[in-house]
Amino acid sequence: MSTEDSLREALRHVKYPGYSRDIVSFGLVKHLAAANGAANVVLELTTRSPEVARQLQTECETALRAVPGIVHVLVEVKMPTGAAAGAGAGFAPSKPAGLKRVVAVASGKGGVGKSTCAVNLACSLALQGMEVGLLDCDIYGPSVPLMMGVTGRPMVSESDKLVPLHNHGVKLMSMGFLLDGDTPVVWRGPMIMKTIQQFVLQVDWGSPDVLLVDLPPGTGDAQLSLCQTVPLDGGVIITTPQEASLGVVRKGIAMFNKVNVPILGLVENMSYFTAPGGERVEIFGHGGGRAEAVRQGVPFLGEIPLFTEIREGGDRGVPVVVAAPNGAPAKAFEAIALSLMATLH
């Protein structure tokens, strides 16, 4: 292993404050060189926090000095223009012109129906006369194209921006529109981060009243990239009632808190099932979402029971709020959409 490789490996042990990932995988190491026992490293941060800069500089110096043969270390930390001593911590993204509200729809784990909720909320808001965009940030497993019944590739505008596809009154962008068939995305973190930045900044969204962002499960690259790219007006957390889901919901809430994104509310999906004979069956338990919202001090936006029509609508590409706007499933989503917009005003 070369000296520079050894230095890079040492920096992989330096975690970004508040996160489990290291500064190398975040792409913060912009220059690394070694010669005659001296190591020179340049970091470029997206935060304006001098405390974070000092912490990373100290930890990098300590890590590099532990590399055999290194006797002198110089770590230069660059921050965004305008950063000053005493500046507030956190990222400083800027909202593109035209985007009025940007709301992330997130979950701590997969399988809770987050994308199903996102597409139905987007369509419900559109049916109420709002201009709505829906960005699918699940790069590895995009499901919005199927659920919204859209295929094809986006065109490029005269200003060299991607033109969103459109269906059910909602503007759409997804990695699924750029792939052929079942082609997998085999990318590392930096590529994910770059793609999400492009989906926000290089797409001609126009001036939607709200842009909903369907995030992948967890608290990784996509979530951090979005928070670094655009200031979010808030996040909506989707959960199911059982503790296995609620446990990771707490991690999702903690992630948004770390990047100063307000939690607009919690939604309990798959809340219960009504059997053909009228019996109410609480397959995953019931009430866990509301109880967790109370514990966390965040709004509870509502519950969505298990309806066969919801699954059928997603499989057909016609969300249930469009297919049967007066039915009980659609009314459940409509109530949550109204509660969500009330929290944004």
Q: Say if residue 73 is in the same domain as residue 119.
A: no
How many CB atoms within 10 Å of residue 159?
A: 7
**pLDDT at residue 260, as a whole number:** 78
45 and 107, same domain (yes or no): no
Query: Which residues are CB-neighbours of 56 under 8 A, at least 6 positions away?
Result: 14, 16, 17, 23, 28, 43, 45, 77
Does any domain span residue 308? Answer: yes
**Domain containing residue 215: CATH number:** 3.40.50.300
Q: Are residues 23 and 63 in the same domain?
A: yes
**Do the domain assignments include residue 60?**
yes
By CB atoms closer than 10 A (0-12, 13-18, 19+), residue 96 is middle
Residue 88 lies in a domain: no
Residues 125 and 74 in one domain: no
Mean pLDDT across 140-158: 91
User: Is residue 276, in this structure, part of any structural domain at all?
Assistant: yes
**pLDDT of 187 over the 80 cut:** no
Is 183 or 241 the better-scoring residue by pLDDT? 241
| Co-location of 211 and 147 in the same domain | yes
Which of 142, 172, 168, 214 shows the shortest CA–CA distance to 319? 168
SS3 47: strand
In terms of phi and psi (left: phi > 0; alpha: psi -120 to 50; beta: otherwise), the region of 238 is beta
Quote the CA–CA distance of 330 and 62 in Å, as a whole number.
Answer: 57
Which domain covers residue 61, as residue numbers?
3-78
User: From CA 202, how far away is CA 216, in angstroms rounded?
Assistant: 20
Residues 51 and 120 in one domain: no
Nearest to 221 by CA among 199, 245, 248, 194: 194
Tokens 């792939």 appear where?
A: 179
| Residue count (the chain) | 345
Average pLDDT, rounded, for the chain: 86
- The CB-side HSE value for 262 (13 A sphere, CA atoms) comes to 10
Share of the chain above pLDDT 70, in %: 92
Neighbours of 286 (CB within 10 A): 19
Task: Read off the amino acid at residue 256.
Answer: F
Looking at the fold, whether 71 and 137 belong to one and the same domain comes out as no
3-state secondary structure of 190: helix
The predicted pLDDT at position 14 comes to 94
**Domain membership flag for residue 97:** no
Q: In the 8-state DSSP scheme, what is residue 149?
A: T
Q: C-alpha angle 278/283/286, rounded to 5°?
A: 90
Q: pLDDT band at residue 189, thresholds of 50, 70 and 90?
A: low
**Do 244 and 174 fall within a single domain?**
yes
The predicted structure's pLDDT at residue 94:
63
- Domain at 13, CATH number: 3.30.300.130
Q: Is the confidence at residue 84, as pLDDT, over 70?
A: no
Who wins on pLDDT, 3 or 323? 323
Residue 152 lies in a domain: yes
Residues 159 and 280 in one domain: yes
* Cβ neighbours of 3 (radius 10 Å): 17
Task: Give yes or no: residues 59 and 148 share one domain.
Answer: no
Is residue 187 within 8 Å of residue 193, measured between CB atoms? Answer: no
pLDDT tens, residue by residue, 216-246:
876 666 777 787 778 889 999 999 888 777 8
In a domain, 92, yes or no: no
Q: How many CA atoms lie within 13 A of 68 on its CB side?
A: 2
Q: Which residues contact 286 (CB under 8 A, 6 or more apart)?
A: 241, 271, 272
Q: Domain check: are 57 and 118 in the same one?
A: no
Number of domains in the chain: 2
> Does a structural domain hold residue 280?
yes
- The answer to whether residues 48 and 117 belong to one domain is no
Give the separation between CA 138 and CA 244, rounded to whole angstroms: 22
